[in-house]
């Protein structure tokens, strides 16, 4: 009897161990061959309803300046960074399209100048349009031996793309001017769903890392009428009130507070840039790690990229653990080894 009792106990122990092993099979554990990843616990990045994006600082008007005729550059009197005044002579060109016969060229110039004087008189009396007057002025310009670029407004030279003795075609950019009186703006691409909520006049805050991320007040002055053909994003223009330290080409982060109501306001989540896979327009995929260290693919909707990461509008909840490094080597449903939890 005692021997039978011992056998029964041994059999029960074996069955218990077998059941335990069977239960573990449903919850796979990480092995040394499992991908090593890092994860972050996502949290809301901004107040509910706010729209965050990054864009480039620039003058509202940055026209390229060019000669109206082909020729050889004689002189360029300014360089990038120089401040210029309206009407200031910036560059001179020796034209190559004027007739070879000097007498014919002089006669053509005299005729063009006479036609311009007549057109000016008719314009002042209201008999011809501004376009006709402009055509007469252009005809005079085409008969001159040289061509001059003058500053159309007060501003700063942003770029210089030509040098003396260089041969240029008509219309080839020589200088790019930033018109100071036009004001400083930030142009930022915004996802279509968020752009639909933004209106001209909405308040915004602008931050630039090089300036210590101090918040500068701004307002929306333009919302693009057509989305970008490759990304689907709409360009939104934000005018900055106090822009003395801003420079064209700086990268800025903007937070826009839409006045338009929405029935689906959510707090945006911020995830590291390397977390986002298969990005296209405002869609993408991230891997979320559950309590058993199993990685699952999850589709998300995004709203742009900032210096801190990707803004996610849909698909994640506060506290989700997202793979921040190593996501490219993980398959859906695979158990991972977590190097560090953040």
Measure the CA–CA gap between 68 and 147, rounded to whole angstroms. 8
Contacts of 75 (CB under 8 A, 6+ apart): 91, 92, 164
DSSP string, 224-267: -SS--TTT--EEEEEEESS-TT--TT-EEEEEEE--S--S---P
Domains contained in the chain, CATH given: 36-45+267-341 (2.40.420.20), 51-60+183-257 (2.40.30.170), 64-180 (2.40.50.100)
Residue-wise pLDDT tens for the chain (342 aa)?
444 544 454 444 544 444 444 444 454 566 777 889 899 888 776 544 678 888 999 999 999 999 988 889 999 999 999 999 999 999 999 887 655 455 666 777 788 888 889 999 998 888 899 888 888 887 777 666 778 899 999 999 999 999 999 999 989 999 999 999 999 999 999 888 778 889 999 999 999 988 888 889 999 999 999 988 877 889 999 999 888 889 999 999 998 988 765 545 556 788 888 888 988 777 889 999 998 889 999 998 887 666 667 878 888 888 899 998 888 888 998 998 888 644
Q: Considering the entire predicted model, what is its pTM?
A: 0.57
Distance of CA 215 to the CA centre of its chain: 19
* CB neighbourhood size of 291 (10 A): 7
Q: Give the pLDDT score at 14.
A: 47
């Amino acid at each position: 009897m005692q021997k039978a009792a011992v056998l029964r106990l041994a059999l029960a122990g074996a069955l218990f161990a077998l059941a335990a092993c069977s239960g573990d099979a449903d919850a796979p554990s990480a092995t040394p061959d499992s991908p090593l990843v890092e994860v972050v616990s996502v949290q809301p990045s901004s107040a509910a309803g706010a729209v965050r994006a990054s864009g480039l600082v620039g003058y509202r008007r940055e026209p390229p300046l060019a000669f109206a005729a082909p020729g050889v550059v004689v002189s360029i009197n300014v360089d990038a960074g120089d401040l210029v005044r309206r009407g200031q002579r910036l560059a001179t060109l020796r034209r190559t399209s004027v007739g070879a016969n000097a007498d014919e060229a002089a006669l053509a110039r005299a005729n063009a100048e006479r036609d311009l004087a007549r057109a000016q008189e008719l314009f002042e009396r209201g008999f011809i349009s501004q376009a006709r007057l402009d055509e007469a002025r252009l005809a005079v310009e085409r008969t001159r031996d040289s061509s001059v670029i003058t500053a159309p407004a007060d501003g700063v030279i942003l770029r210089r793309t030509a040098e003396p003795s260089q041969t240029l075609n008509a219309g080839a950019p020589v200088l790019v001017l930033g018109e100071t009186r036009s004001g400083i703006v930030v142009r930022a691409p915004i996802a279509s769903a968020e752009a639909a909520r933004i209106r001209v006049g909405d308040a915004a805050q602008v931050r630039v890392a090089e300036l210590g991320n101090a918040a500068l007040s701004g307002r929306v002055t333009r919302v693009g009428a057509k989305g970008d053909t490759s990304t689907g994003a709409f360009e939104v223009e934000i005018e900055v009130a106090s822009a003395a330290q801003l420079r064209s080409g700086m990268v800025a982060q903007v937070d826009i507070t839409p006045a338009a109501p929405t029935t689906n306001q959510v707090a945006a989540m911020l995830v590291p840039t390397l977390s986002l896979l298969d990005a296209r327009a405002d869609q993408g995929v991230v891997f979320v790690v559950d309590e058993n260290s199993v990685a699952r693919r999850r589709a998300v909707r995004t709203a742009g990229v900032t210096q801190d990461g990707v803004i996610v509008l849909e698909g994640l909840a506060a506290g989700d653990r997202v793979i921040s490094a190593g996501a490219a080597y993980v398959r859906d449903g695979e158990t991972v080894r977590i190097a560090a939890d953040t």
